[in-house]
Structure 1
Amino acid sequence: MSEKSVHYTNKVTSYVRSKEAKKFVAEELHYHLEQETKGLKDAGLSEQDAEEKAIQQMGSAERLGQDMNKLHRPRVDWVMIGMIMFISLMGILPTLNVSNELYNNADYFTRKIIYLILGATITIAFMFFDYRRLRSLRWVIFAFTTFILLALTLFPNTILNGAAYFRVAGLTVDSTTAVTAFVLCLVIFLGDANAKFWRILPVFAITLYALMIIPDITAVFVYTVTVTVLLWFRFKRKRKYILWGYLGAALFMGLMVTNAQPYQLERIYAFVNPEKYSDTSGYTYLRNEELLEQGGWFGENGGTESIMAPHTDFAFTTITYNYGWVAGGLLIIIGLFIMVRMIRKIKTIKDPFGQVIIIGGVTLFSTQFLYNIGMMTGLLPITGMFLPFISYGLNPTLQTSIMMGLFLSVYRRKDFVASREIGGWNKI
């Protein structure tokens, strides 16, 4: 690049305020000048004349710099941030109705506030973090994911409700941590334009097997759905193999059901007909339905009914019972708006890696959110599915914060991808 081109580029970028955008504009301008100069040289002009004419065709450096400053600047999705703040604050409500007597004065309210502050800090940090740097950190993240896999499958030091946990220095590594790490790791590898379908499958199989060993059926379901959607959109030409694979999995699950133990079959029957099993597995369904009905439109004022896991899996029931279907319905609407907004923004992202991140994030969020609402309203079997933004816990908070922070990071830099970088997937 000659001194004249460098001078022109520096003058253009001097009008661009954002450091990230400045670098992007300089690279893009250099690329276009190089391509235009090459075309003019092929047309018969000397290298010096071709370069001068290419610069002239680009126009005034001042005007171009001002236009680039308007076009290429960090974007902040204030609408999404507003919805995240609102639904996160709604997550405080369940902790206000936890019985201190039943939960040993654990002060979940104070802890929830701490988690909210931590979650907000992580979300903001990831928003300012350049998501493209994840590529250079892929092996660090892979090593961390491997550590989680080994810790949960080979060295669990706590067993709770049959599921394995790894606890050290007050921190808990569980299935939620594993799903977050596994999805993030796969997203990074799938974001590579040279990613191969048959190389991704073994990674998926190993991590899925680890979740099955823990064991945590809820985590297996969430992880499987998320990865399936990622593979479906990432490898369009391999969709028939995905369909055949899940057909085989469905047949295998059918065989598993035929060999299920009586108590396992009872849980399935209780979901279909809870009245028949009202004294055993069906009680939870009937009790939850009763609490939702008692809540009415505006909640049971001074309600004293006890709710199982009121601040975690049944947080939606807690909100609806105490504050009514007005609050519960508002929570559902905001959750749906978050999903729709994330999906709509995929089309505005030019970077395939950024698209993969949003697809993975919205699938992870939607699967958990919709399933939790579905099981609380009696549409789906009750499992240990937490409600994003609402359910209490450090690991759910970390997962949601990282997911939303990465979305905001991608959106912030949606105009920072050169056109020559687009279309890496078209060859797949």
Structure 2
Amino acid sequence: MHKRGQSFLGEVRDQIRSKEAKDFVSAELNHHLKAAKNKWIEKGMDETEAEEKAVVQMGSPITLGQKLNKLHRPKVDWLTVMLLVTTLGLGFLPILFMDADYYLQYNMDASSFSVQKVVFSLLGAVLAFCVMLVNYRRLESFGWLFYSIGVLILVLLQNSFDMINGVSILVIGPFTINSLSVMPFFLLAWASFFNHKKLKLWHLSLLFVCSFWLFVNTVNLPAIYIYTFMVFGLFLCSRFSRKIKWMITGGIMGSLLLLGFIVWPSLEMYQLVRLLAFVNPEQYAEGEGYMMLLLQDHISKAGWFGNALNSGTIPNVHTDFVFVGFTYYFGWLAACALFIVLALFIVRIIMIARNIHEPFGKLLLNGAVALYTVQLVSNVGMTFGLVPITTISLPFISYGLIPIVLNAFIVGVVLSVYRRKDLTSMRTFQPQQ
């Protein structure tokens, strides 16, 4: 491009405020100018005259720049931001139904708990804001790096088994890392992989098997479940044909059934009892079925308006069973309202994804909604005995740094994609005749 074209692009750029939009618009306009210039050259004009003619076709650079600035201005999805602030605020409500005896039972201090909750919430909000500012498109080329980081963390977790919690954890200063901590890295990695046309299905299968095996060795069943659900959700939204998706889905279901028949005779007695207790907890009320019956009892006594003045005996009411405590103390109406607010994230992400046509961004949103949904549905489902009791947290409400950071990252990804949703291709732009 000669001086005339460069001058035109510079004047257009001067009207655009966003740096990302400047770079994007420059690349697109440069493409159109070259295309128009080549057409005039084909008609017999020399290069300088053809470039002048192409620039004139584009019209006023100031007017064009102002229009493009308005069109490609980065936007904030304030609805998602409001949902994030609301849910982080609702996360403080469990403090209201945690009395002194509960803090003493779990060796906790009320003031320290509140301070840590504030710190965790602020860290989550800051993380979501920072991720929003990152141009997600630039992350696509780092898929292998993110996968390697996730694998490295899982390898480090192999030799750090915690006998108390029964899972592998890695303690670095005040922070505790477990296999759930790697989900953001694998979300970015798999979105990149499924959008990589050179990666065949057997490549992806091998990558999944390797990472899955590392997850298994961390002895964190909820993390294995969440990871598998996230990858499978991305696969269903990937470029592969519907026939292949049906074949893989059928193969997975058949493999699980076959594995069930093979494993069932070799189950230990305590493992068999856990499965039977989930199906019929009343027969194991003194053992494995006790917890499920306890949760059901508190849910049945909740009523519409709760039992704010009564004390309950719900264990882990600030973490795994926070939805049970919320229902028992505040009632069915409040619990339904909480679930609706949390479910609005799913609705909002799906609505945004429908308007995103850039493949990598769409995959990120689909992976984000799968990662968030499996947490919400599993936690609420075990409250009502629909799924076995697990240590899956309720997004934003359960106490802990990892649940807040993980879901704040998901929200940040959604905000990042939405912020750049109008940075769409101008290849259909028609210059003035």
User: How many Å separate the matches in 2 of 1:182 and 1:159?
Assistant: 27
- Determine the C-alpha separation between the residues in 2 that align with 1:205 and 1:241: 18
- Residue of structure 1 equivalent to 2:276: 269
Q: Conserved in 1, the CA contact under 8 Å of 2:80 and 2:411?
A: no
Contact kept, 8 Å, 2:32 with 2:427, in 1: the verdict is no
Q: Name the SS of the counterpart of 1:83 in structure 2.
A: helix
Partner residue in 2 for 1:309? 316
Amino acid at match of 2:220: D
Give the corresponding residue for 1:120. Answer: 125
Q: Which residue does 2:105 correspond to in 1? A: 102
Query: What are the Cα deviations for residues 42-74 of structure 1, in whole angstroms up to 9, with x where unaligned?
Result: 344443343233222222222211110110010
Say if 1:95 and 1:112, in contact at 8 Å, map to a contact too.
no
Alignment of 1:330-369 (within 5 A): 330-369=337-376
Q: How does the TM-score come out when normalised to structure 1?
A: 0.92
TM-score, normalization by structure 2:
0.91
Contact 1:159 1:165 in 2 (8 A): no
Aligned ranges for residues 79-90 of structure 1 at < 5 Å?
Answer: 79-90=79-90
Does 2:239 match 1:239?
Answer: no
Give the Cα–Cα distance (whole angstroms) in 2 for the partners of residues 157 and 271 of structure 1.
27
Segments of structure 2 that go 5 or more residues without pairing to the other structure are 429-433
Write the deviation string for residues 241-272 of structure 1: whole angstroms up to 9, x where unpaired: 52244022332134223432232222222222
Equivalent residue for 1:380? 387
- Tell me, what secondary structure is at the counterpart of 1:6? helix
- SS at structure 1 position matched to 2:170: strand
Whether 2:13 is the aligned partner of 1:7: answer: no
- Pair 1:156-2:160 in alignment: yes
Distance 1:244 1:116 in 2: 41
Please point out which of 189, 206, 211 is paired with 1:207: 211
Q: What CA distance in whole angstroms lies between the structure 2 residues aligned with 1:315 and 1:231?
A: 32
Q: Name the SS for the 1:234 alignment partner.
A: coil
Task: Give the match for residue 169 of structure 1.
Answer: 173
* 1:325-354 Cα distance to aligned partner (Å, 9 max, x none): 222111111122110110121122232111
Q: Secondary structure at the match of 1:236?
A: coil
- The C-alpha deviation readout for 1:271-311, integer Å capped at 9, x for no partner, is 22222222222222221122122222222122211211101
State the shift of 1:136 in Å.
5.1
Moved more, 102-111 or 358-367: 102-111
- Judge conservation of contact 1:96–1:109 (CA < 8 Å) in 2: no
Pick closer, same or farther for the CA change 1:71–1:388 going to 2, 3 Å. Answer: same
Secondary structure of the residue aligned to 2:103 is coil
- In 1, the alpha carbon distance for the partners of 2:358 and 2:373 equals 22
Offset of residue 417 of structure 1: 4.1
Q: Secondary structure at the match of 1:381?
A: coil
Matched-pair contact (CA < 8 Å) for 2:181–2:406 = yes
Asked if the contact 2:324–2:383 (Cα under 8 Å) also holds between the matched residues in 1, the reply is yes
Whether the 8 Å contact between 2:157 and 2:178 is mirrored in structure 1 is: yes
| SS at structure 1 position matched to 2:237 | helix
Determine if contact 1:182/1:207 at 8 Å carries over to the other structure: no
Contact in 1 for aligned 2:187/2:364 (Cα 8 Å): no
Partners of 1:336 and 1:43 in 2: CA distance: 59
For residues 337-374 of structure 1, the C-alpha deviation after alignment (integer angstroms, 9 at most, x for no partner) is: 11011012112223211112111111100011111111
Mind listing any 5+ residue stretches in structure 1 that lack a counterpart?
A: 422-428
Paired letter, 2:166 = G
| Segment drifting more, 261-270 vs 80-89 | 261-270
Asked if the contact 1:222–1:367 (Cα under 8 Å) also holds between the matched residues in 2, the reply is yes
Give 1:408 shift: 0.7
1:101-153 CA-to-partner distances (Å, cap 9, x unmatched) read: 21223332221111001111111111112223324544543442232121112
**In 2, Cα distance between the equivalents of 1:249 and 1:35?**
55
Q: What is the CA distance between 1:186 and its match in structure 2?
A: 2.4
* Count, aligned residues: 420
- 1:41 corresponds to 2:69: no
Picking from 311, 326, 333, the partner of 1:326 is: 333
For residues 128 and 178 of structure 1, the distance between their equivalents in structure 2, rounded to whole angstroms, comes to 21
Deviates more, 1:71-80 or 1:12-21: 12-21
> For 1:407, which of 411, 414, 425 is the aligned residue?
414
Once the two structures are superposed, residues 142-195 of structure 1 have per-residue CA deviations (whole angstroms, 9 ceiling, x without a partner) of: 442232121112x21523343222223232221211334333332333343443
- C-alpha distance in structure 1 between counterparts of 2:316 and 2:31, whole Å: 58
- Matched with 2:431 is none
How far apart, in 1, do the equivalents of 2:54 and 2:197 lie? 31
